[in-house]
Amino acid sequence: MSEHLPILIVVVPLSAALVVPLLGRRSSTAAHAVTLATLAATLVAASVALTRVLRTADGVWQYELGGWAPPWGIEYVLDPLSGGMSVLVASLALAAAIYAGPYLRTSGPDRIGLFDSLYLLLVAGLLGIVATGDLFNLYVFLEISSIAAYALLATGGDRAAVATFRYLLVGTVAASCYLLGIGYLYALTGTLNMTDLSARLAAADQPTATAVGVGLIVIGLAIKAAVFPFHGWLPDAYTYAPPPVTGFVAAVMTKVSAYALYRVLYFVLGAEPAAASALVFLGWAGVAAIVAGSWLALAQSDVRRMLAYSSVGQMGYIIFGFSLGSPIAIVGALFHVLNHALMKGCLFLVTGGIRWRTGLSSVAGFAGVGRRLPLSATAFAVAAVSMVGLPPTAGFFSKWYLLLGAFEAEAWLGVAALVGSSWLSAIYFFRVLERLFLGADESRPAPERRDLPFGMLAPALVLALVVLLLGLFHQPVVTHLLERALPPTVS
Amino acid sequence: MIDSLDASTVQYLQAAALLLVGLYGIIARSHLLRKLMAMNILQVAVIVFFIALSTKFGATVPVVPAAATAGPIDPAAYVNPLPHALMLTAIVVSVSTTGVALALLIRIRRRFGTLNEPALLDRLRE
Amino acid sequence: MDLAARPLAAVLVSLLAATLLPLAGRRPALREAITFAAAGLKLALVASMLPAVLDGQAIESARLPLAAGLTLGFRADALGLLFALTASSLWLLTSLYSVGYLRAAAVPRQTAYYVSFAVCLSATVGIAFAANLLTFFVCYEVLTLATYPLVVHAQTAEARSAGRRYLVYTLGAGQVLLVAIVWTESVAPGADFTPGGFLAGRAEAGVLAAAFALFIVGCGVKAAIMPLHGWLPAAMVAPTPVSALLHAVAVVKAGAFGVVRIVGYVFGVDVLRATGADTVLIVAAAATILIASMRALGEDHLKRLLAYSTIGQLSYIVLGAALGSVAALTGAMFHIAGHGFMKITMFFCAGALHTQAHRDGVHGFDGLGRQMPVTMTAFAVGACGLAGVPLLAGFIAKWNLGVGALTAGDEIIVGVLVVSGLLNAAYFFPIIYDAFFKAPTTETADAREAPWPMALPLGVTAAVALVLGVAPSVGFRFFALARLAAESVVAGSGGLP
């Protein structure tokens, strides 16, 4: 059994997605229990697989699907990079699913089975993107996760349907670009396997065609990762979606696309001049994203939309780090993938919970909410401090490595953008925190203190605690995982 | 000029034209259903592109008769089956996406009474 | 306990208290017991390192490794111990004073207050013992975050606006400091604080000067060097014990201490002299001393007057660091302790006057010397000390600064010191005169002496200010520590004797 782990982490949620809606007709409680059990099993499988990968000397676990040897068959590759990503995806999926329990019970128990089925499909798709070693297979999983995400995001209401339709159009254009790009590379090399393609592309010696293919792939994935200026779909889609979905999607979905971008540009096309040019372009896009995302977040009066724009800026941190290309900068970017997933997940879960409990989501509406939901507000505060990048939280240390990388590369504009974005995010986050904890109207009687139910509170608190602890104790994660996830051309 | 236009070049040009038509439609059309149709055209363009990749002159379907397996198989005699297989998957993806999109459009139409983007934006602002 | 573990333990003990305090919930006695236990333990731990450090040792705790060769770690050297001793002994006294003040003034949300206070103290001792710039920065920002709830504790519109201003200044400067620290890390990877600095020859003079400017802006906000001082008078809206410990000792001293660390242990006096940055700093410090004293003259709110006095006094420390000779550095470092004890006396008195006589201004103290003898005597001692009257702690610092200035040939600095002393006298002495030489009015006649939890700490700090002036090296031996640190810095950079 354990030798099939790389495919099991995809297949287990995929098959559960088929069972859960049938079960949901009988009992929504049973359907959700099965979902949680499946996600827990997936997390265990991903963790076991990662430990096994980290124990091996070369740190690569190649799995031939159906016994067909690559490059004919589809290959699944778990290395420290994809293994780490799959653990991240699986753990946030579990956290958001636990949170979804109380939320779903109050807002439509008859739909739990369908919701969970789509959710499991989304998780399976994201895990597939991470684990696959085949470019076309990656496209399929990209679309599985996207279609499931469209359906889930649209459950947020009528405005969500409009926002999701736009996201669907943009997302499909992105996927088509990616597919077309693969077509170019396939025409040049006759293979879709990542490792094989990387070896054959140099021999093909067709710089123009390669450049077109790489350009299309990069644009496609950059749209999916909401890299500025391709971020237009994101704010509306995140704002109107139901809280458990935003919590999960905002935390990992753009990050998984950024992972795909990193995988393709460094591991598959590492030696190509076209990839180097793409990275230069992405570097500028990243700097612009950092500035624009923070600036736009400042202008928002709805907390959810503010968080969405802050995501645009934070994706800029990650893309900027990748583009610098030095070990320290890439470690910073990868660490920020992890940190941003944890803290943005926490922030969206709490914000959604506050709206669920009080109906409020505007910055002004948060006044005094900290006294009604003190523990949730505390989790929000920890994650917000980490978003600003203040010690001792994890967000500070990823920013530190990114800054160090920017100094090494003498990317002064990037340094300025990182510092300016910290200032701006300090303003927009402390504006919320001040309302949250101090905004209470003293003249009125204090509203009753009633925090979120345990199932919704616990995931947010755990994420906040991890953000806090990962700050000071991140050394094992960096040395055993992130530094081994550097591409061969860099380390 | 015309002499050098072989079948696959025509297909490539066709794909490029469809791609541009699709992109134009998504951007320029104000009716959401028309945008969706343009999106489908865009997806078809990619499919045509892949099919063009596999085209070979004088080649036949990649089914090797039992009699021919005895000797060496000449790859030039058969069309590359892989792009076709890939595109089957892409068509499935395209159909699913269109299904989700249509479901969304039905919902938008029911709630807002229109699929025309400017009118819809007005309703959203209310 | 193992000697090497003590710097770390001294930092963590108040953090442990901060995690225990919420469990005490609504039992004030337990809450106060935890605070006292932690404060006492912290002081004992810090003081127990004194003999070894006076022997010239630097006590280093195990490091916490991070990626890329970076570490977080604590190390007690003479300068750090001087600051830690000041902060932790004053925490013990402030805790006692807080008990009296919070009850007398009926301050709400006391658990949150004690928790934030304990975290602040961990951060302060962390800053004192930080072995490298990264550790220093982590503690420095934690201090900012933990102080914010205390500044806005009253939750009034005024407090919130002060809190906003506080964050804008301190977090803004924090990012500037971060850039400077990352730059340092990129030219000197993994470097620890070294007496005499480690940057000599690592970059061109122009780059060094630019980096130094970033450092000074980064630390200068907390050290309230003009024009970066705007947050401090506004932050006086906090409860008085907060103003006393944090805005007279912990936060502002963290900034001034940071300037000394950066001048003495990162750049080195000689590097600064070569770049000409020292002159700029001397001018800024001297200007701050004079302008702050004049602003204090025009202030009619006692706590804000004390804030401006603090701004001026902190620049003594910055001035001493910039002058860079053994005498000047000794004076500057000694002033970290000396000013701490004197200024906290003044704030304790201001708080006692607030709760007992309902006086927040600088007028109407008539006859209070008879009504509140302990408080007003302590006030007089503190004021004389700040003005630089001989036999008090302030004089020792000023004398050494003056000697340092003369050695460096900056006679004009001596003039600045003298004028500043006169200005100090000019704004404090009318209050003392009113209190002791005028008859009580109807408003002051029913004022009573502060309860013992408030009167005792302020009496003790005033007494310490006196003892430090007469015999600066007894007890915690602040002067010896300052001298030791100053000599190591100057020897390390091979500068003036």
DSSP per residue over A28-62, as a string?
HHHHHHHHHHHHHHHHHHHHHHHHHHHHSSS--EE
Min CA distance, B124 vs chain A (Å)?
A: 7
A391 touches chain C (CB under 8 A): yes
User: What is the C-alpha to C-alpha distance for residues C420 and A220, in angstroms, rounded to an integer?
Assistant: 67
**Inter-chain touch A143–B96, beta carbons under 8 Å:** yes
Q: How many domains does chain B have?
A: 1
Min CA distance, A256 vs chain C (Å)?
A: 24
Domain boundaries in chain A? 1-133, 134-485
Range of the domain at B46: 7-60+78-125
**Inter-chain touch A478–C179, beta carbons under 8 Å:** no
| A contacts of B126 (beta carbons < 8 Å) | none
Residues 6 or more apart whose Cβ sits within 8 Å of residue C70: C134, C185, C190
pLDDT given for residue B2 in this prediction:
46
pLDDT < 50 positions in chain B = 1-3
Radius of gyration of chain A (CA): 21
pLDDT given for residue B4 in this prediction:
52
Chain B and chain A touch, per 3+ beta carbon pairs within 8 A: yes
Q: Judge whether residue A443 has pLDDT over 70.
A: no
Going by C-alpha positions, the residue among A43, A39, A20 that lies closest to residue A30 is A20
Q: Provide the chain A residues 443-472 that lie in CB contact (below 8 A) with chain C.
A: 472
pLDDT given for residue C203 in this prediction:
85
Output the six-digit token pair for A284. Answer: 């500028």
Cα dist from A369 to C38, C69, C160, whole Å? 33, 43, 16
Per-residue pLDDT, averaged over C54-72, amounts to 87
Other beta carbons within 10 Å of A36: 16
Going by C-alpha positions, the residue among A101, A133, A398 that lies closest to residue A243 is A101
Min CA distance, A253 vs chain B (Å)?
A: 18
Q: What is the amino acid identity at position C127?
A: I
Please report all neighbours of B, defined by 3+ CB atom pairs within 8 A: A
Check residues A378 and C234 and name the one with the higher pLDDT.
A378
| C contacts of A426 (beta carbons < 8 Å) | 167, 171-172
| A contacts of C150 (beta carbons < 8 Å) | none
* Nearest residue of chain A to residue B102 (CA atoms): A165
Going by C-alpha positions, the residue among C90, C119, C109, C118 that lies closest to residue C152 is C109
Per-residue pLDDT, averaged over A9-37, amounts to 93
Q: Using one digit for the tens of pLDDT, what is the confidence trace for A73-83? A: 899 999 999 99
pLDDT given for residue C370 in this prediction:
83
**Inter-chain touch C171–A440, beta carbons under 8 Å:** no
Q: Tell me which residue in B39, B86, B89 faces A172 most closely, judged by beta carbons.
A: B39
**Mean pLDDT of all residues in chain A?**
92
CATH code at B84? 1.10.287.3510
Q: Judge whether residue C494 has pLDDT over 60.
A: no
Output the six-digit token pair for A355. Answer: 């709206």
**Inter-chain touch C145–A434, beta carbons under 8 Å:** no
| B contacts of A129 (beta carbons < 8 Å) | none
Q: Confirm whether B27 is domain-assigned.
A: yes
Say which DSSP state A193 is in: B
Which contacts (CB < 8 Å, 24+ apart) does range C165-170 have?
C165/C230, C165/C231, C165/C234, C165/C235, C166/C231, C166/C234, C166/C235, C167/A426, C167/A430, C168/A427, C168/C231, C169/C221, C169/C228, C169/C230, C169/C231, C170/C144, C170/C221, C170/C222, C170/C231
Q: Judge whether residue A408 has pLDDT over 60.
A: yes
Q: Confirm whether B67 is domain-assigned.
A: no
Please report all neighbours of A, defined by 3+ CB atom pairs within 8 A: B, C
Beta strand A61-64 with A75-78 is antiparallel
| A contacts of C176 (beta carbons < 8 Å) | 419
- Here the ipTM equals 0.92
Min CA distance, A191 vs chain B (Å)?
A: 10
Q: Using one digit for the tens of pLDDT, what is the confidence trace for A100-114? A: 999 888 876 667 889
pLDDT given for residue C353 in this prediction:
86
Q: Which residues of B touch A (CB under 8 A)?
A: 19, 23, 26, 32, 35-36, 39, 42-43, 45-46, 49-50, 53, 83, 86, 89-90, 93, 96-97, 100-101, 103-105, 107-108, 111-112, 120, 124
> Is C52 in contact with C448 (CB distance < 8 Å)?
no
pLDDT given for residue A246 in this prediction:
94
Q: Using one digit for the tens of pLDDT, what is the confidence trace for A146-188? A: 999 999 999 888 899 999 999 999 999 999 999 999 999 999 9
Q: What is the pTM of this model?
A: 0.94
pLDDT given for residue C497 in this prediction:
40
pLDDT band at C393 (very low <50, low <70, confident <90, very high): confident
Q: What is the amino acid identity at position A8?
A: L
Tokens 């008195």 belong to residue: C349
Output the six-digit token pair for A485. Answer: 């996830």
User: What is the C-alpha to C-alpha distance for residues A439 and A363, in angstroms, rounded to an integer?
Assistant: 11
Q: Judge whether residue A340 has pLDDT over 80.
A: yes
How many alpha carbons fall within 13 Å on the CB side of residue B110? 9
Going by C-alpha positions, the residue among A430, A431, A412 that lies closest to residue A420 is A412
pLDDT given for residue A441 in this prediction:
65
Of A239-243, A410-414, C363-367, the one with minimum mean pLDDT is C363-367
Q: Using one digit for the tens of pLDDT, what is the confidence trace for C422-461? A: 999 888 898 888 888 888 887 777 778 888 888 899 999 9
User: What is the C-alpha to C-alpha distance for residues A464 and A461, in angstroms, rounded to an integer?
Assistant: 5
Per-residue pLDDT, averaged over C450-478, amounts to 88
**Inter-chain touch A475–C68, beta carbons under 8 Å:** no
pLDDT given for residue B53 in this prediction:
85
Q: Tell me which residue in B19, B104, B112 faces A168 most closely, judged by beta carbons.
A: B104
> Is A332 in contact with A321 (CB distance < 8 Å)?
yes
pLDDT given for residue B68 in this prediction:
67
pLDDT given for residue C67 in this prediction:
79
Chain A and chain C touch, per 3+ beta carbon pairs within 8 A: yes
> Is A127 in contact with A17 (CB distance < 8 Å)?
no
**Inter-chain touch B108–A158, beta carbons under 8 Å:** yes
Other beta carbons within 10 Å of B72: 7
- Which among A418-432, C247-261, C411-425 has the top mean pLDDT? A418-432
User: What is the C-alpha to C-alpha distance for residues C253 and C230, in angstroms, rounded to an integer?
Assistant: 16
pLDDT given for residue C154 in this prediction:
82
Q: Tell me which residue in A434, A437, A478 faces C67 most closely, judged by beta carbons.
A: A478
> Is C332 in contact with C265 (CB distance < 8 Å)?
no
Min CA distance, A34 vs chain B (Å)?
A: 25
Q: Using one digit for the tens of pLDDT, what is the confidence trace for B89-117? A: 999 999 999 999 999 999 999 999 999 99
pLDDT band at A291 (very low <50, low <70, confident <90, very high): very high
